[in-house]
Amino acid sequence: MSRFVLITPNTEFERRVRMATAGMTGSLQFFQADYLPQSPEEVLRQMLGEPPEVFILGPGLPSEDALKFASVMDLQYPEISLILAAGDSPDLAIQAMRAGIRDLLDPSAEADHIRIIVERASLASAGRRRGLAPSSSEHKEHAAGGRIIAVISPKGGVGKTTVATNIAVGLGQIAPMGVVIVDLDLQFGDVASGLMLEPEHTITDAVVGAASQDSMVLKTYLTLHPAGIYALCAPKNPVEMDRISGEHVSHLLSQLRQEFQYVVVDTAPGLGEHVLATLDLASDAVWICGMDVPSIRGLRTGNQILAELGLLPETRHVVLNMADRRSGLTLRDVEATIGAPVDIVLPRSRNLPFSTNKGVPLLQDNNRDPATKGLRQLVERFKPNWEARPHKKLHRRAVVQ
């Protein structure tokens, strides 16, 4: 059976699609044509076995005909995902979404990027065949959508962005194309540099206009990372922060959790309006503190304030970063001050901040740094059904090296 069908007159694009699908289960059926049939059945009649999973409408086809073809396909064969190779246009993106097209693809995209888009479309097709929504999976834990993981700290300079980017990359290895990281440090966010990205669009674009109404348009504003995750980066101009309200943040996160299994949010230091809006929806809070008195006291105070406001997420994870026994504090001191056990200890490391500076998180680089083990343990805590495992019932005391 051919899993993938490509229609285009462009043989160079066909070559790149073949490279992208090489090694994937199933074969590619190529129709070299600059027109589309009246109905999908005319194509499917030429194929044996069950209908394919993915239709790719390549460059060189009339856009209007492609949208009509997609609309009919979506009605007759909703389990088949469609990909349209076309230029970046917000108007076309809206029309494509309404026609049932799964993704838009840049006609000049290289094979690696094409493969990611095709794999995502295949997963969506498999979900539909099982009678589930495209963004659903057997691992989804919350009926309202994916898991929102808020990475927070009352104090800056404790490695919050470093931990958040590593969580996103680590989860991307568990749920490829099912993770998005959102930079909510709207004035001085560093997710873009921490992942070595140059985003074309930022969160400002995502909370206004068509993107706030249609998830298909919103996806076009996300930046794809080589680790198989998406990023929505902070505004390029800090002044744009004033244009984004708490209501914007709530609506954005609600949209994203319907499309992704994991939404990792790197928040700004403190407990401002945007942080509170995030915590109101978050399923998990990852508290980051350094091994210094102001950071530890700030965590305790922040925890108390959120408890009074009723905004503490159901699940919390306390991460002690830059841990060093030479700091004059012990793990018992930290736990006694914050009134909660420390779940993950990340030892002081030269490679951890360096990895953020060069834009390659430790979990992407597979570096054998001592902090890598702690980061992997943190990611493990977000795996499906982790709470049901026996070791969760006993707090294993972490050790500061």
Q: Which residues of the chain have pLDDT under 70?
A: 1-2, 48-50, 126-144, 387-401
Handedness of CA 251, 254, 260, 264 (dihedral sign): positive
Give burial (CB, 10 Å; 0-12/13-18/19+) of 147.
buried
Residue 388 confidence (pLDDT): 60
Residue 179 confidence (pLDDT): 93
Residue 262 confidence (pLDDT): 95
Residue 130 confidence (pLDDT): 53
* Gap between the Cα atoms of 182 and 128, Å rounded: 27
* Gap between the Cα atoms of 16 and 212, Å rounded: 33
Strand ranges of the sheet holding 262-267, from the earlier edge strand across to the other edge:
223-225, 229-232, 179-184, 262-267, 147-152, 284-290, 315-323, 344-347
Residue 128 confidence (pLDDT): 65
> Hey, what are 334's tokens?
């930290």
pLDDT 10s digits, 126-173: 666 655 443 333 333 443 578 999 999 988 888 899 999 999 999 999
* Gap between the Cα atoms of 321 and 316, Å rounded: 16
* Single pTM value for the model: 0.65
pLDDT 10s digits, 57-115: 999 999 999 999 998 888 888 888 899 998 877 788 888 888 888 888 999 999 999 98
* Gap between the Cα atoms of 62 and 65, Å rounded: 5
What's phi and psi for 49, nearest 5 deg? 80, -160
First-last CA distance in the chain: 56
β partners of residue 182: 232, 265
> Hey, what are 210's tokens?
């068509």
CATH number of this structure's domain 2-130? 3.40.50.2300
* Gap between the Cα atoms of 231 and 287, Å rounded: 21
If phi > 0 it is left, if psi is from -120 to 50 it is alpha, else beta; for residue 195 that is alpha
Provide the 10 A C-beta neighbour count for residue 87: 11
> Hey, what are 172's tokens?
């991307």
Residue 132 confidence (pLDDT): 41
Residue 83 confidence (pLDDT): 93
Q: What are the helix (H) ranges across 39-155? A: 41-44, 63-76, 90-99, 111-129
Residue 135 confidence (pLDDT): 39
Residue 10 confidence (pLDDT): 95
Provide the 10 A C-beta neighbour count for residue 220: 23
Residue 127 confidence (pLDDT): 63
Residue ranges, CATH 3.40.50.2300, the chain: 2-130
- 147-381 folds as Rossmann fold (3.40.50)
Residue ranges, CATH 3.40.50.300, the chain: 147-381
* Gap between the Cα atoms of 180 and 168, Å rounded: 7
What's phi and psi for 302, nearest 5 deg? -60, -40
